[in-house]
C-alpha cells in the first residue's frame, strides 16, 4: 500500500513537471503568459468538474460559511501561484523558476515561528540559511545578478503565494472535500484571471498551428491539452491521493522531485541547459528546504497544544491546529502550484 502511494506521488511530481515546458509551447503559439494560464485554469476546471460530477458529485458542495475560504484559496493558492509562475517563465529557464518557487517551505517555517509564535529547532533556521546560500549560488551573485531581476521577483512572490497554499491546504475540516476545493479553486482562478488576461482577446487560431522549440515541433493544441489534462488535472488528483496516504513529510519529499523532473523535461523538450552554478545551487536549495521542513516535524504537538490553549477548547481548535501542524511539517504535493 505504501509503495503504491509513493508511486502515485511520483506520478504527481512528473505530471507537474510538464507545466513549464508545455506553457512555453503554448506561449510560442501566440498567447500571452496570462492567457496561457487562463486556458489552463478554465480547461482544467471544466474537465475536473465533469470528472467529479460523474463520480463524486457530493464533493462539489460548498458548506455554509465557507465561501470566503474557497475564494481566498482560488485567489492565492491557485490564481496567484499559477499566474506568477507563468509570468516568470517568460524571463527565466524552467528549472530556475522551479528552484526559486521551492523556497516556499522556508517561508512556512518563518510563518510558524513569527506569526504563530512557535519555537522551532535550530536546524529549521539552519535549513533556511542553507536555502538562502543556495539561492545566492543559483543567481550567481558574484556576477552581479546575471539572472533577470524582474523574473526573480516574480518567483519570490510566487513562492509566497505557494506558502499560502501550503498553509491553507489543510486548513479546513471534514466538511470540505479536497477534490471539490480544487475544482472550485480552478474555476475561481479562471474567473479572477479572465479580465486580467483579457481572455476575450485570446488568438484561438493559434491552437491550429505548430511551434518549434529546442528542435522539437509540437501542435499548440496538443501542448494545451497536455497542460490541462496531465500537468493540472492528473497532477492535482494524484497529488491529493498521495497526500492522503502518505505522511506530510514523505509527500513533500517526493513532491520536490518536480524541480528535477521539470528541469529534465525542459532540457529534453526545450534544450534549456542549467549551468554548473544552477545545478549546484539547486542541490543546496533542495537540501536546505528538506532540512527546514523535516526539522519542524517535531513541533506538531506543540502547535496543537498552543492553539488548543489559545482557543480555550481543544475541540474548537482541532481543524486549525491540524492545519498548522501539517503546514509546518511540509507542503502537500499538489502545490503549486504551478502551482
pLDDT of 146-165, one tens digit each?
A: 678 888 899 889 988 888 87
pLDDT at residue 52 is higher than 50: yes
From residue 189, give the alpha-carbon distance in Å to each of 155, 204, 238.
19, 20, 20
**Rounded-to-integer distance, Cα 330 and Cα 333, Å:** 9
Q: How confident is the model at residue 248 (pLDDT cuts 50, 70, 90)?
A: very low
| pLDDT for residue 35 | 93
Give the residue with greater pLDDT, 220 vs 175: 220
| pLDDT for residue 144 | 55
**Rounded-to-integer distance, Cα 310 and Cα 1, Å:** 38
pLDDT digits (tens, 9 = 90+) for 86-116: 888 888 877 678 778 777 767 777 777 777 7
**Rounded-to-integer distance, Cα 59 and Cα 78, Å:** 18
**Rounded-to-integer distance, Cα 43 and Cα 204, Å:** 14
Give, as one character, the DSSP assignment of residue 229.
I
CB 249 within 8 A of CB 330: yes
CB 56 within 8 A of CB 163: no
pLDDT at residue 241 is higher than 80: no
> Which cell numbers in the block locate residue 214?
529546442
Residue 210 pairs in a beta bridge with 219
Q: How confident is the model at residue 43 (pLDDT cuts 50, 70, 90)?
A: very high
> Which cell numbers in the block locate residue 335?
502545490
Average pLDDT over residues 290-296: 66
pLDDT digits (tens, 9 = 90+) for 173-183: 678 888 898 99
Amino acid at each position: 500500500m505504501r509503495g503504491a502511494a509513493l508511486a502515485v506521488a511520483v506520478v504527481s511530481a512528473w505530471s507537474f513537471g510538464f507545466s513549464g515546458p508545455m506553457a512555453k509551447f503554448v506561449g510560442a503559439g501566440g498567447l500571452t503568459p496570462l492567457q496561457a494560464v487562463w486556458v489552463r485554469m478554465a480547461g482544467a476546471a471544466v474537465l475536473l468538474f465533469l470528472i467529479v460530477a460523474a463520480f463524486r458529485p457530493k464533493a462539489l458542495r460548498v458548506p455554509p460559511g465557507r465561501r470566503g475560504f474557497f475564494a481566498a484559496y482560488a485567489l492565492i493558492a491557485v490564481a496567484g501561484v499559477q499566474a506568477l509562475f507563468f509570468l516568470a517563465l517568460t524571463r527565466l529557464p524552467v528549472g530556475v523558476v522551479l528552484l526559486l518557487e521551492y523556497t516556499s517551505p522556508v517561508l512556512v517555517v518563518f510563518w510558524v515561528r513569527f506569526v504563530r509564535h512557535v519555537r522551532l529547532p535550530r536546524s529549521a533556521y539552519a535549513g533556511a540559511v542553507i536555502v538562502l546560500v543556495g539561492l545566492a549560488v543559483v543567481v550567481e551573485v558574484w556576477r552581479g545578478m546575471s539572472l533577470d531581476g524582474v523574473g526573480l521577483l516574480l518567483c519570490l512572490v510566487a513562492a509566497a503565494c505557494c506558502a499560502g497554499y501550503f498553509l491553507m491546504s489543510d486548513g479546513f475540516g471534514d466538511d470540505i472535500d479536497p477534490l471539490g476545493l480544487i475544482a472550485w479553486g480552478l474555476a475561481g482562478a479562471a474567473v479572477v484571471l479572465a479580465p486580467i488576461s483579457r481572455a476575450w482577446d485570446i488568438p484561438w487560431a493559434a491552437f491550429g498551428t505548430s511551434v518549434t522549440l529546442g528542435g522539437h515541433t509540437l501542435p499548440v493544441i496538443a501542448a494545451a491539452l497536455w497542460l490541462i489534462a496531465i500537468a493540472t488535472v492528473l497532477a492535482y488528483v494524484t497529488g491529493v491521493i498521495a497526500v492522503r496516504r502518505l505522511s506530510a513529510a514523505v509527500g513533500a519529499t517526493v513532491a520536490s522531485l518536480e524541480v528535477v523532473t521539470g528541469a529534465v523535461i525542459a532540457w529534453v523538450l526545450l534544450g534549456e541547459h542549467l549551468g554548473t552554478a544552477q545545478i549546484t545551487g539547486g542541490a543546496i536549495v533542495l537540501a536546505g528546504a528538506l532540512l527546514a521542513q523535516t526539522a519542524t516535524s517535531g513541533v506538531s504537538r506543540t502547535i496543537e497544544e498552543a492553539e488548543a490553549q489559545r482557543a480555550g477548547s481543544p475541540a474548537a481548535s482541532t481543524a486549525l491546529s491540524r492545519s498548522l501542524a501539517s503546514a509546518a511539517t511540509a507542503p502537500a504535493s499538489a502545490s503549486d502550484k504551478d502551482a
